Amino acid sequence: MGAGIVLAILNGVLKLAGAWVQRSRQRQLIDAGEAAAIARGLQNASTAISRAQEIRRGVDVMPRHDVDNVLRPPERRTGGKPE
């Protein structure tokens, strides 16, 4: 084999390896972005659950009449003015 053929084959192998490395880097970036999005979603869900638990604890200590009154539309609440 001549030197030109060997260099051509080596060049092709290096281009292929370069394309593979670039693809791997892109995949890592995509995976990192997905992981960050999942983490944000989990954090948002956790925050929402914490808020709901806080509200529930507040409602648990309210008298039944107050809970019923809060759940009514403002125009049907007892005690006068809509909130």
pTM above 0.85, yes or no: no
User: Is position 27 within any domain?
Assistant: yes
User: Is position 39 within any domain?
Assistant: yes
Whole-number pLDDT of residue 74: 78
pLDDT in tens, 10-33: 999 999 999 999 999 999 999 999
Residues in the chain: 83
Q: Which residues of the chain have pLDDT under 70?
A: 1, 79-83
User: Can you tell me the distance from the alpha carbon of 39 to that of 44, in angstroms, rounded to the nearest whole number?
Assistant: 9
User: Is position 4 within any domain?
Assistant: no
Whole-number pLDDT of residue 71: 78
User: Is position 37 within any domain?
Assistant: yes
Whole-number pLDDT of residue 38: 96
Count: domains in the chain: 1
- Give the range of the structural domain holding residue 45, as residue numbers without chain letter: 23-50
User: Is position 66 within any domain?
Assistant: no
User: Is position 33 within any domain?
Assistant: yes
SS3 track for 1-16: CCHHHHHHHHHHHHHH
